Amino acid sequence: MKWTKLTVETTCEAVDLLSAFLDEEGVLGVQVEDNIPLSDEEMAEMYIDLLPDDMPEYDGTAKISCFLDEECNVEELKNKIVKELNRLSEYIQVGTGMIECTETEEKDWINNWKQYFKPFRIYENIVIKPTWEDIPADVTDEDIVIDIDPGTAFGTGSHETTKLCIGQLKKYMKFGDTVLDAGSGSGILSFVCNKLGAGRVLGVDIDRIAVDVANENRDINNISEESVSFICGNILEDKKFADSIGKKYDIVVANILADVIIPLSGIVQSFMKEDGLFISSGIINIKEEEVRKALLDNHFDIVDTVYMKDWVSFVAKRKKG
């Protein structure tokens, strides 16, 4: 099968917003080339000793690529990208905005990205390891190692938004808590919750591929279906599906986009116990106040707000009285 590789020349500043836009357009994954230098801490987390000698210098530019199947209307998507870049250019630098399209065979790209996905320490004692890599030498018995093969689903766990969520889960989740992972992707947060002592975790995603991948990853990590399960459905648009989930969770965690968290904040209490917590992440800083307002308007008290680079995470609980 032939695929179209669409590449947009842009800036590092625009990468996250443009990636989020492509996500909303149904693109299953993006490849980012940004040449941002790694800090010593990041190199340690990713078990990298030396970078290649031919690494280009950082100049603020970036390229975002995605792969489109034969059913995709490429010209329509290109026009949408141009409009989005024009919109973003009103408040950030978006670069040249040049778009290049090339054809490639599935066998040429479907697995090539794996050479760039290496084990990394996402938190002090949590290591994410691709299934095809060996356990790093410095991993100890005290570390939690989670094996992941994301396939074509989202979620290698390396993004700041995932780190924010894990930090809040470590801080607020109690042993035996029930957890709803809304937008579970490849399942990383669900597995972290299980390893941290959650009694039961339900992961929900609108993407059937993501749910299948998460189930496979659960089996790879020797976690029982009784402890962690994944189902496909849309809790925002399918009331019958949403009602089937029940009102029984100590924690609802949502590492998705601000534009999804805003409407979710209007219904999420229906899934929560009276004293439950709603942990949200995936919020770009320019959307912080919109999400904050949505939480407050929907009768939440915000008990914690944390930041990492351009991203924000809220912890909220039901307002009393």
| Per-residue confidence (pLDDT) for residue 21, from 0 to 100 | 87
| Domain spans of the chain, in order of start | 2-114, 121-318
Q: Beta-carbon neighbour count of residue 305 at 10 Å?
A: 13
Query: How far apart (Å, rounded) are the C-alpha atoms in residues 130 and 151?
Result: 11
Assigned token pair, 263: 């409407």
| Per-residue confidence (pLDDT) for residue 264, from 0 to 100 | 96
* Backbone phi and psi for residue 257, each to the nearest 5 degrees, phi listed first: -100, 150
Residue by residue, DSSP assigns 81-113 as HHHHHHHHTTTS------EEEEEEEHHHHTTGG
Q: 2-114 adopts what CATH topology?
A: Alpha-Beta Plaits (3.30.70)
| Per-residue confidence (pLDDT) for residue 10, from 0 to 100 | 93
**Architecture in CATH of 121-318:** 3-Layer(aba) Sandwich (3.40)
pTM: 0.68
| Per-residue confidence (pLDDT) for residue 192, from 0 to 100 | 93
- Segments of the chain with pLDDT less than 70: 1, 28-29, 35-58, 105-117, 150-159, 321
| Per-residue confidence (pLDDT) for residue 246, from 0 to 100 | 83
